[in-house]
Structure 1
Amino acid sequence: MTKPIRIAQVTNVADALAIRSEVFIEGQGVPANEEVDGQDPECLHWVVSDELGPAATLRVLPKSENLAKIQRVAVLDRARGTGLGTMLMQHVMGELAEMGFTRATLGAQLSALGFYERLGFEVHGPTYLDAGIEHRDMDRSL
């Protein structure tokens, strides 16, 4: 497991957008207008950096006083399998709990279901397409 240099909530989303662009737009073929959907100003953003710089990101859209929707979880290819994604998720879930959120929800790509299940998320609802990629909704208590 790689040791992160920093996991930080950020207000300048340039690093987050660069990671998301590389992972989703370039890597998975998500149309840019779907990835950059206009909701970033409403969201909370985190970036984790390793010894080479920004490596992973996610955003959280507060849905209600108690419910947080985790979105746009992205880890650069060079950092996959290092544990940075797990560290980022665990860190953010802890911060969300401290902020008073009691539940977290997300839409997981089918290929990532196991990752989220290991973090305590449970699948519910049918499979659906988001940006042409199959997803399932998941949630967990914080």
Structure 2
Amino acid sequence: MTLIFLSVASACKKNQQRDFPLVSFDQYIYLNNPSNIELQSPGGAVYFNGGYRGLIIFRRYGNNQVDDFAAFDRACPKHYSEDCSQLELSDDRVFAECPCHGEKYLLFDGSPGEGATISMVEYRCTFDGAVIRARN
């Protein structure tokens, strides 16, 4: 009985894994840099180097914490190997959209939106009051 349970549990775990390239990076984003001015307000987002196809750094809102930032890979999680799969920010900065196939992802938490079935790839992100550190 235990062997059957372990086999089923192992199979479930394999199905949850992503086939997404693992990259190593460690980037620092300075809030006082004029190119990062959007990050000084909740809901602001900027593109940055790092990750597989670049990063989207997003300042979350709604939880009343000034240090809540997210770092998402710009590669579409479903079509990451396609040249056109670099996610783009919507004009209202609510979604990231795949220009290849039109899937949308909610920037607040990377969850799948219109046409998408899996979440964006999110990296570790910390904030010390002046510098955001995004890394894998």
TM, length-normalised to structure 1: 0.26
Q: Is the helix fraction higher in 1 or 2? A: 1
TM-score of the two chains, using structure 2 as the length reference: 0.27
More strand by share: 1
